[in-house]
Amino acid sequence: MIKIEKLSKVFRTEEIETNALSEISLTINQGDFVSIMGPSGSGKSTLLNIIGLLDSASGGSYQLLNQEMIGIKEKAKSKARKENIGFIFQNFNLIDELSVFDNIELPLIYNDVPSSERKKKVSEIANKLGISHRLKHYPQQLSGGQQQRVAVARALINDPKIILADEPTGNLDSKNGNEVMELLTDLHANGATILMVTHSDYDASFSQKTIVMKDGIILSEKLNNKNVDVFAATLNN
């Protein structure tokens, strides 16, 4: 699904050149759940943004569904992003002036989906995520966990091929954070491909594999124990 070879990213100012990514190579297959960890400045969010087609690499190769993404035109990049990628952000990025229904519906409007189909798809995803009773409410009327569920619903509404999650529990307490991680685990169990950036060892333990980055390179990759003792991990958190 995703194949990255010798990917690099250089940020330049007039006097300073910073290598944010240095010849990263990585493969993510359909149905994988992979977490990326590392200290601030390690390059993990830069890598996620390039995979999400929100930023461009300076060199190397990035293939999404066997199509090369490096060097493609912005229109083609936007199309690939809309059709294949769903984003879950730490800050939810919900629009306060729109209802829960309208927030979830927004990507469908951008994709010119007919009104009747939009209503059906929003109802289905809201029911799946347990927020049907909140569709007429506004973001500020919801708990943090409920807001993140709305953000997840919006990310899933276009049936993306891959879900990119950037610190999805970063603004949540442990209870709501656990609910979001259990939700991502359920999505993965039902076939979703997920790539998640996190600072949390506990959150990373839900994934199949953890990649550790530092100074723009991959230090290690390890397979995780899938038999996570959630209760014990919560006590130690």
First to last CA, the chain: 33
Tokens 């290598």 belong to which residue?
19
**Three-class SS state of 87:** strand
Q: Name the percent of the chain in helix, strand, coil, to the closest 5.
A: 40, 25, 35
Tokens 């990119």 belong to which residue?
164
Dihedral of CA atoms 224, 32, 48, 227 in degrees, nearest 10, equals -30
Q: What is the pTM of this model?
A: 0.86
In terms of pLDDT, which residue wins out, 89 or 118? 118
Q: Which residues pair with 164 in a beta bridge?
A: 87, 195
Q: What is the mean pLDDT of the chain?
A: 91
Q: How much is the average pLDDT of 21-49?
A: 95
Instruction: Give me the helix-helix angle, 144-156 and 100-110, nearest 10°.
Output: 20
C-alpha neighbours within 13 Å on the C-beta side of residue 53:
25
In terms of pLDDT, which residue wins out, 235 or 110? 110
The CA distances from residue 14 to 18, 22, 120, 139, in Å, are 11, 21, 52, 42
Domain ranges of the chain: 2-236
pLDDT > 60? residue 121: yes
CB-based contact 33:206 (threshold 8 Å): yes
Q: How much is the average pLDDT of 110-136?
A: 94
Q: So what's the pLDDT on residue 136?
A: 97
| Cα Rg of the chain (Å, integer) | 18
pLDDT > 70? residue 97: yes
Of 75, 47, 37, 45, the closest CA to residue 210 belongs to: 37
Homologous superfamily of domain range 2-236: P-loop containing nucleotide triphosphate hydrolases (3.40.50.300)
- Sort 173 into a burial class: Cβ within 10 Å, 0-12 / 13-18 / 19+: exposed
Tens digit of each residue's pLDDT (9 = 90 or more) over 129-185:
889 999 999 999 999 889 999 999 999 999 899 999 999 998 888 888 898 899 899
